[in-house]
Amino acid sequence: MSLLNVSVQKQVIQVFNQIKFPVRLLVFSQGEGGALECQMCQDTRQLIEEVAALSDKVSVEVYDFVSDATIAKQYGVDKIPAVVIAGEKDYGIRFYGIPSGYEFSSLIEGILSIGRREPKLNKKTVQEIQRLNRPVHIQVFVTPT
Amino acid sequence: MVLAHNLALASNWIQADMVEASEFPHLANKYQVYGVPRTVINEVIHLEGAYPEDMLLTELMQVMDEEVVSHL
């Protein structure tokens, strides 16, 4: 059964028309498709696969947290389910846990921003963060609504 | 969340994670998440609620100030 209904699919397809550059969605799960895959990992993987199917510019790669540990480490993925939105390089955008409810729009917005390679920020913000010379790790805790 | 992800896209120094609190209770506990959204920057800056762009920027840029960070 599909997680996204037809009306949501149509809306997303419309938004995804603005994507100019390829977007890669990396999903980290465990025991893909088997009885041991955690429920949230399974739902997250299915959701991402359905979203990716809505644009030919969006591709999905599914990795196993255990057998693909090297790749997980490369992306700093330390828990699952995890989704990385990347382009030809990693931009540091992660979702830990299923991006559902209100966060579904964060997922779509994230894909769109990467797809345009253009952050939606004020000029002042873009200028100001050029001063950074050390890593900044932002974690935003949310709950499904 | 969208704002944090846009910041990550704009700077190679920034990584932004959405963390679904109910799926990672140990982290919600560690960072004392009682309400959402709660934002944690470099383990030291804790923000309650949704911050507008200019205010989040001000908080974030504090990481550049050793003096401030040492007191957080």
Token look-up 């959204």 returns: B37
Q: Confidence class of residue B68 from pLDDT cuts 50, 70 and 90?
A: confident
The number of distinct structural domains making up chain B is 1
- The torsion region of residue A117 among left (phi > 0), alpha (psi -120 to 50) and beta comes to left
d(CA A104, CA A112): 12
Tell me: the pLDDT tens digits for A60-69? 999 999 999 9
Q: How far is CA A68 from CA A4, A26, A116, B58, B63, in A?
A: 28, 12, 29, 38, 33
pLDDT at B72 over 80: no
pLDDT at A114 over 80: yes
Mean pLDDT confidence for A89-95: 98
- Strands, E assignment, chain B: 14-20, 38-41, 45-48
Residues A55-80: b if buried by 16+ CB within 10 A, e if exposed: beebebebbbbeebeebbeebebebb
Does the beta-carbon distance from B42 to A137 stay under 8 Å?
yes
Which residues contact residue A67 at a Cβ distance below 8 angstroms, ignoring those fewer than 6 apart? none
**What ipTM, to 2 d.p.?**
0.96
| Tally of CB atoms within 10 A around A29 | 23
| Tally of CB atoms within 10 A around B71 | 8
Residue A48 near residue A97, CB atoms below 8 Å: no
Tell me: the pLDDT tens digits for B13-53? 999 999 999 999 999 999 999 999 999 999 999 999 999 99
d(CA A48, CA A51): 5
d(CA A32, CA A75): 19
At B40, which CATH number?
Answer: 3.40.30.10
Q: Which domains does chain A have, with CATH numbers?
A: 14-131 (3.40.30.10)
Q: Considering the entire predicted model, what is its pTM?
A: 0.95
Instruction: Count how many Cα atoms sit within 13 Å of the Cα of residue B28 in the half-sphere of its side chain.
Output: 18
CB contacts under 8 A, A 70-129 vs B, are 76, 79, 81, 85, 91-99, 103, 105-106, 109-110, 113-114, 117-122, 124-126, 128-129
Residue A109 near residue A115, CB atoms below 8 Å: no
Q: Which domain holds residue B10?
A: 2-63
d(CA B15, CA A137): 5
User: What residue in B sits closest to A122 (Cα-Cα)?
Assistant: B53
Tell me: the pLDDT tens digits for A15-70? 999 999 999 999 999 987 788 788 999 999 999 999 999 999 999 999 999 999 99
- pLDDT value of position A61: 98
